[in-house]
Amino acid sequence: MPSVQNTPTNNSNSPQLQDILSTFTSLTDSIAINDALLVIDRALQGTNASIIGGQILESIPLSHLFQLLQADHGDDTEYIIDRTCSVLESLLREQPFNSLIQDPLMSGALLQSLNSPSPRIHALGLAQVDKISNEDISVLRSTLESDIFKATVDGIASESISIAERSKQTFLKICGTEERLAAVIDFEGSVHLIQDLTNSRNSVVRMRIIEALTELAGRSHESLDALQKTNLLDSLKDGLTSADILTRFNVIEILSEFGATEAGSEFLDQAGILTQIANVVENEADQDSLGANAIAKLYGKLGASDKVDFISLDMKYQILAQLEKLMVGDDDFEPDELLKTESMASFGLVGGNVQNIEWVSQSHCAQAFIDLLTSLPRDLKVAWYHSLAQILAC
């Protein structure tokens, strides 16, 4: 798209900038609007940004800029949206969320942004909601009852991956402390919104919110307890018994990250999840290779974490014995090469943790690992030596 040449940097006295500010609201040609936005955006970068920002707001109402986001500019729409968002981000950067929502016009414009199918516009709105995390908790509590919070949570279910992931990050940010998380889940309306996502028919949406909830739960025992009391983690447990193989795989992948935290490993133990997983290894490993690989990876993450008492878990659940089965098989089960590789890698992670090395070295799994070398094809021997190197480096 055409753009102006020799645009000024951030000179507040630039005649070109002053001319643009005096005529901007009357511009109708998309090229002229785009070029003017480029000059304004460049002017907002640098040491005079706050002065220039004040001059811009004296000449151009924020509502006019938001209106540009809703208008159809033909082939230039994408360019104008991008530059308008950039200008608005600069102008709103220092403006608290609480002051934004006090203005009915701005509150409405923010809600429009959060309902926009455009990832760029949606991100502009979410950037404003992010500010709640740095404001008084009373601002969060009042927002929970608003359409703005609903739109933020609903964004996690967006068909646009960009919008969905950005919405999830905002949700995590505004629940960023134990106190703020408690405020969110103490409000019945927000719990219902979250439950709607955990019960979604769309498995991708379910996994996305489960991933967010486990990240919050893994931050502290208090956060874990709060989420368990509202049953928001039930969908995580239910996912392990799903008839859908891919759902089970995704749940175990999430548990791999969650379980590596102190609170997460406690949850795996107390919620009976490690018992469920042990049953899968015992009875279903030959029926679900995808799940078996995910379980091997999970055990590696548990053993590698310095926040997890792996030895206590192994004494209770015989994790190393399970890992041995996944690595070398038994009379009724022969692991494929991918599972052998994943299991050896996990054994290396467990043994490579200084907390576990003595325990692991005395296990039957360690002897099975050593004996395995002679029967491995060349490619898998490389993986075997890599795992051994991790243990020796401990």
| Residue 4, helix vs strand vs coil | coil
Q: What pLDDT shows up at residue 46? A: 74
Whether the Cβ atoms of residue 108 and residue 147 lie closer than 8 Å to each other: no
Q: What pLDDT shows up at residue 1? A: 54
Q: What pLDDT shows up at residue 49? A: 87
Q: What pLDDT shows up at residue 8? A: 46
What pTM was computed for the model?
0.89
Whether the Cβ atoms of residue 277 and residue 295 lie closer than 8 Å to each other: yes
Q: What pLDDT shows up at residue 16? A: 85
Distance from C-alpha of 69 to C-alpha of 381, rounded to nearest angstrom: 58
Whether the Cβ atoms of residue 254 and residue 236 lie closer than 8 Å to each other: yes
Distance from C-alpha of 253 to C-alpha of 211, rounded to nearest angstrom: 10
DSSP state for residue 32 in the 8-state scheme: H
Q: What pLDDT shows up at residue 10? A: 53
Structure tokens, 227:
């989420």
Q: Is 46 left (phi over 0), alpha (psi -120 to 50) or beta?
A: left
Q: Which domains does the chain have, with CATH numbers?
A: 1-94 (no CATH), 240-394 (1.25.10.10)
Distance from C-alpha of 21 to C-alpha of 56, rounded to nearest angstrom: 7
If one counts every other C-beta atom within 10 angstroms of the C-beta of residue 47, the result is: 9
List beta partners, residue 333: 330
Structure tokens, 5:
């040449």
If one counts every other C-beta atom within 10 angstroms of the C-beta of residue 207, the result is: 21
Distance from C-alpha of 8 to C-alpha of 16, rounded to nearest angstrom: 8
Q: Split the chain (394 residues) into runs of 10 and give each run's mean pLDDT.
A: 49 78 94 94 87 93 94 93 97 94 94 97 98 97 97 98 98 97 96 96 95 97 95 91 89 96 96 95 89 96 97 98 96 93 98 96 97 94 96 88
Distance from C-alpha of 143 to C-alpha of 137, rounded to nearest angstrom: 10
Report the residue count for the chain: 394
Distance from C-alpha of 10 to C-alpha of 22, rounded to nearest angstrom: 17
Residue with tokens 């969060």: 140
Whether the Cβ atoms of residue 70 and residue 39 lie closer than 8 Å to each other: no
Q: What pLDDT shows up at residue 207? A: 95
